[in-house]
Each structure stands twice: as structure tokens, then as C-alpha cells.
Amino acid sequence: MDGMHDLGGKEGFGKVDYRPGGPVYHASWHERIHALSSLARRLGIFNMDEYRHAIERMAPRHYLAASYYERVLIGSATLCVEKGCVEHRQLARWSGDDFPLSGAIGPGRLNKPIASTFSIGDVLRVKDEHVSCHVRVPGYVRGKTGTVVGRSPASPFPDASAHDMPALSEPTYQLRFLSTELWPGASEEASVYVDLFQSYLEPCTGAP
Amino acid sequence: MNRAHSSIGDHEEALMSRRVEALEKAFEAKGLVPENYFDEFHVKATQEWSPENGARVVARCWTDTAFRERLLGDAIAAVAELGYSMPEHQRKLIALEDTPNVHNVIVCTLCSCTAFTLLGVAPHWYKDLEYRARIVREARTVLREMGTDLPEQVEIRVWDTTADTRYIVIPARPAYTQGWSEAELARIVTKESMIGVSRLDGIGKAPGADAAEVPDGRSGGRVHG
């Protein structure tokens, strides 16, 4: 989905609030919600892809204003409600406020079995697809061309897995892009490597 | 007060605590929380998932060429030799070796993925919008703002953690550590250097800053949190 979470390359943000060597958590509830969300995944209440997508489904204004652990909280609580672990109004009664949750989930998409895999050195294009489900393609590489520098073992296809649909596993590839091709005339020189599922990629035919 | 909670005041902090307690109550009501779960999680998150793990990997890589080869070939198997593992869904680990002319830096623009069993739980600034938005597009400026002003000839490689591959930067070994033991070396390797927002070899440091800031691994002083 073209959500607020897809931040790579967005402009206008200021300096990073960088403090080396700080504590792991800045408040006790940070650790508590990290633990609860981790427990929910361990218990199989939701998987990692569902969890990421639940956070992406937060209302954009809420997403931008929330701290990281508030996003963990809202994503986890949303899934616990959707999966029938607790009713929303029960949560709201216990917390004493309206306990905002993420927006409703839509349909995902299935992947097809992979006929053959790509190789290191292949020049590939990221498909120019716009999908409203969970997807792990950052918008900044959509339709762009990169070179395969590595391949990772097969993982479940997130676009299906995040929607509790049967996900076939497929390899992911680390592709090298040039920042100057991702944002021509408006970026600093660097190589940018992105790890992409096979279904997101296609052979690059013809001139770039 | 930092941005991890500067956007919300005490009232909001109290509200967040109540919401987390409400969710916890839902888990408790269903009997889903194992005995001692939170205590055990605390030990994992604050002690077991420590940047000291990654630091040991880096120090071994610096001192043992055969280990370095194995680490660059299959990092998950190599770190297992030191007793470290990663969650099942993290199916590959890639060690990114810095040189005087190459600088690697890690980000997760879509969420906040990291090799947390080796680097520790991701720091707040890594999960902030500013870092995620900017580092892929203006890495040189962002690194400079964070204290590492890389010379023009240093190539920057930004690795966006968009799937279940994880990364660890192997910082370049500082010249002043000739003859140090592996344990002494491990003490100077920081979480920040393994994410790639700082270097240990002095490249990119402001002139004059070096002498005062050379960490002393031999005195046993810790330099990372």
C-alpha cells in the first residue's frame, strides 16, 4: 500500500535525534508492549507480516505523530481485536479512552510458483505495480532498474502472508541501485541496496 | 528530553501505559502469559540481545582470517560458531565490510528491522522518521550531521532492510590497535559502528577530535551501550 510508512526518500525531515549509547527503552511501557507483541507472535496470534501491515494501516496522521512503541501498541492491539482475542470496546473500557486502532484490512494477493530463479549479475526491473495490500517494495524503487548482488533463502510471500492467505515461499534478491537514478538530479551519490522478493521483479528487456 | 517521547507529554505517557495495561489484561484474562514471561523478556532484551555479541563477531573477523572468510561467505553459520543465533524468520545475515574507501550503512525505511540478537534492540533514532526518510537519499549529509564527515572519495553503500535478510557492518579496524587481543578489540566496537553511522578508524572524524576520543580498549572501559 502507498502508506505513510513508506518513508524512504521523503523530503522535508530535519536532523536525526542522534544520541549514541542510549538506553534500550525510554519508558517502562515500551518494554512491556515490545514483550506483549513478541508474545503474540510466539503464540501464533499473528505473524510478522500481519504485524507490519497492521502498523501500516494506522491512520496517516496517527502514524506520523506516534512514537515507535505507540505504533507497536496500535498494530498489536488491532490484530488482537481482529483475531478475536479481545473486543475493542473492552480494551477502551480498560484503558479509559477510545483506544484508536488501525484501519480495516483489505484483500491480499497470492504469488505463483517460481519457474526459475535469477542470478547474481542479472539486471532486473522492479515491476511498476500499485497494490493496495501489504507489499515490501519501497516506492522509491518501483519501476527502477538494479543489479542482483545477492540472493537469500526463500521466505513466505508477504503480500499473501500479511493477509492470512496461503503464501508460497520464494527467494529474495539484494539489488544494487544508484541514488542518482532513483532521484535523478536530487540526491547525493550512493549505492542503495534493496532486498526484494522474486515476484516483485522482472527481467529488464530493451533499453532502460 | 529526546524525540522518543518528546512529542507526547506526561498525560499522553500515562495514556499509553494504560493502553498497554489494557492489552496485557486481555492476554492475562485468556491465560496467555506464561509464568515469569516479562522477567525473561527483560533479560533477553536488555542483556542477551547485546551489541557485545556483534562486537565479538567484529573482533574475531579482524583477528582470524579464516573466520573472516567464513563470515563473508555464510554469516549465520559463522556467528553460530560464537554461540549466536537469529530468529527463524531472519534467513540470511550479510556481513558488510568497510574499507578506507567504502562505507556501509544500514536502515529499514519501511519499518525498523535489524539483526537485534547481534546489534541489540534498535536505537530510537534508527526507528525515527528522519533517519528512515533521509539516509537512502542524502546519506553523506545525514552521516555528517551524525558526526561522520566522509571524504568525497569514500563510496557510500546504503542497505535497506526490506525483507528478511539482515546486515551487520564490519567497521574498518583502527590502526592504533596493532597487537591488541580479540577481547580488547571487542571493547571498542560500538552498536553505532555496526549500524554504520560511525567509524572507528578515524576517517570522517573532525580534525583534532581524534586524540581525545581514541577509546582505550585495554583499560577495560566500555564505549558502547
Interface probe for A, chosen from B110, B142, B222 (most Cβ of A below 10 Å), is: B110
Mean pLDDT score, A69-88? 98
For B225, the closest of A5, A10, A21 (CB atoms) is A21
The answer on pLDDT for A46 being more than 50 is: yes
Interface probe for A, chosen from B7, B162, B166 (most Cβ of A below 10 Å), is: B162
Give residue B223's pLDDT band: very low, low, confident or very high (50, 70, 90). Answer: very low
Q: What pLDDT does residue B1 have?
A: 39
For A80, the closest of B23, B107, B146 (CB atoms) is B23
Q: What pLDDT does residue B154 have?
A: 98
The answer on pLDDT for A149 being more than 50 is: yes
The answer on pLDDT for A160 being more than 90 is: yes
Mean pLDDT score, B177-204? 97
- Beta carbons within 10 angstroms of residue A115's beta carbon: 5
Q: Do A91 and B134 touch (CB under 8 A)?
A: no
A208 or B52, which is more confident? B52
Question: What share of chain A has pLDDT > 90, as a percent?
Answer: 96
Examine the residue annotation and report whether B112 is marked as an active-site residue of this protein.
yes
Give residue B217's pLDDT band: very low, low, confident or very high (50, 70, 90). Answer: low
B66's grid cell: 579464516
Examine the residue annotation and report whether B6 is marked as an active-site residue of this protein.
no
Catalytic residue among B17, B61, B85, B111: B111
Mean pLDDT score, B32-56? 97
Question: In whole numbers, what is the pLDDT of chain B averaged over residues?
Answer: 91
Question: What share of chain B has pLDDT > 70, as a percent?
Answer: 88
Q: How many residue pairs bridge chain A and chain B with CB atoms within 8 Å of each other?
A: 254
Give residue A202's pLDDT band: very low, low, confident or very high (50, 70, 90). Answer: very high
Rounded Cα distance between A75 and A92, Å, is 15
Mean pLDDT score, B106-117? 97
Q: What pLDDT does residue A182 have?
A: 98
A55 or A21, which is more confident? A55
Examine the residue annotation and report whether B61 is marked as an active-site residue of this protein.
no
Interface probe for A, chosen from B76, B101, B109 (most Cβ of A below 10 Å), is: B109
- How confident is the model over B126-160, as pLDDT tens digits? 999 999 999 999 999 999 999 999 999 999 999 99
For B165, the closest of A16, A152, A186 (CB atoms) is A152
| Maximum distance among all Cα pairs of chain A, rounded to whole angstroms | 60
The answer on pLDDT for B206 being more than 60 is: yes
Q: Do B45 and A31 touch (CB under 8 A)?
A: yes
Examine the residue annotation and report whether B113 is marked as an active-site residue of this protein.
yes
Residues in chain B with CB shorter than 8 Å from the CB of A31 are 41-42, 45-46
- The chain A residue lying nearest B152, using CA atoms, is A189
The answer on pLDDT for B225 being more than 50 is: no
Q: Do B134 and A70 touch (CB under 8 A)?
A: no
Q: Do B133 and A9 touch (CB under 8 A)?
A: yes
Give residue B224's pLDDT band: very low, low, confident or very high (50, 70, 90). Answer: very low
Mean pLDDT score, B28-43? 98
Q: What pLDDT does residue B9 have?
A: 80
- Beta carbons within 10 angstroms of residue B209's beta carbon: 11
A23 or B199, which is more confident? B199
Q: What pLDDT does residue B221 have?
A: 44
Q: Set out the domains of chain A in order of their start, with CATH numbers.
A: 1-105 (1.10.472.20), 123-203 (2.30.30.50)
Q: Do B32 and A9 touch (CB under 8 A)?
A: no
- Kindly give, in sequence order, each residue whose CB lies less than 8 Å from that of residue A51, ignoring residues fewer than 6 positions away: A37, A41, A75, A76, A79
Q: Do A21 and B33 touch (CB under 8 A)?
A: no
Mean pLDDT score, B103-112? 97
For B8, the closest of A7, A31, A67 (CB atoms) is A67
The SS3 assignment for B29 reads helix
The answer on pLDDT for A137 being more than 80 is: yes
Q: What pLDDT does residue A118 have?
A: 98
- How confident is the model over A49-60, as pLDDT tens digits? 999 999 999 999
Catalytic residue among B6, B7, B85, B112: B112
Mean pLDDT score, A152-157? 97
Q: Does A188 touch chain B (CB under 8 A)?
A: yes
Residues in chain B with CB shorter than 8 Å from the CB of A29 are 13, 16-17, 20
Q: What pLDDT does residue A208 have?
A: 46
